């Protein structure tokens, strides 16, 4: 069985909000992609979205941001069935970093935090979330504790994120 995923276009009004706490910090952003399958191996859900983070750089150019305030990683995750039905959106917000681990062997970074995940019934708060950043920063694996959200994003915990081309990333304060 061959599975391919075309990006689900986000249809929404454009809105931009930046917390003043982030001013002066370089942010990165990119796309999220995932395909979930059921127990028979059939594609169950397509996931697509965007993410934004200030966890990858500080005003001095350090590789890891030691920002401990709420919200240094946010994401919007859109889900739909392969036939285009049941389309809905979730938000990952209010992330609070609990620790940051640097792997000296491959220079990758693991950021552990708790987050709030919007769900139909009510927001799920204090959800264990892990962001694993590749050594070159081009790929992230976002893990939302599957059990805490009743396996809503599938049994496989990973949602893969791709960083935007660094040429497009600008310092929020100076625009450079």
Per-residue pLDDT of the chain (176 residues; tens, 9 = 90+): 333 334 444 433 334 444 445 555 567 788 899 999 888 999 999 999 998 887 655 444 444 444 555 567 889 999 999 999 999 999 999 888 888 888 888 878 888 999 999 999 999 999 999 988 888 777 888 999 999 999 898 887 778 877 765 555 444 444 55
Residue-level pLDDT at 16: 40
Contacts 24+ apart (CB under 8 A), 117-123: 117/90, 117/91, 117/92, 117/144, 117/149, 118/89, 118/90, 118/91, 118/93, 119/90, 119/149, 119/152, 120/88
Q: Which pLDDT score, from 0 to 100, does residue 99 have?
A: 86
Residue 158, pLDDT score: 79
What pLDDT is recorded for position 80? 96
φ, ψ at 102 (rounded to 5°): -105, 130
């Amino acid at each position: 069985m061959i599975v391919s995923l075309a990006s689900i276009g986000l249809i929404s009004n454009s809105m931009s909000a930046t917390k003043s706490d982030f001013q002066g910090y370089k942010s990165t952003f990119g796309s999220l992609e995932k395909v979930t399958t059921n127990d028979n191996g059939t594609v169950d859900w397509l996931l697509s979205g965007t993410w934004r983070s200030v966890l990858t750089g500080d005003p001095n150019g350090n590789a890891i941001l030691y920002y401990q305030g709420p919200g240094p990683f946010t994401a919007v995750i859109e889900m739909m069935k392969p036939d285009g039905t049941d389309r809905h959106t979730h938000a990952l917000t209010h992330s609070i970093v609990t620790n940051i681990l640097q792997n000296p062997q491959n220079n990758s970074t693991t950021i552990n935090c708790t987050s709030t995940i919007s769900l139909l019934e009510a927001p799920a708060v204090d959800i264990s979330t892990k962001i694993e950043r590749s050594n070159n920063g081009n790929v992230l694996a976002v893990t939302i504790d599957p059990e805490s959200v009743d396996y809503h994003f599938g049994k496989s915990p990973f949602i893969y994120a791709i960083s935007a081309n660094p040429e497009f990333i600008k310092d929020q304060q100076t625009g450079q």
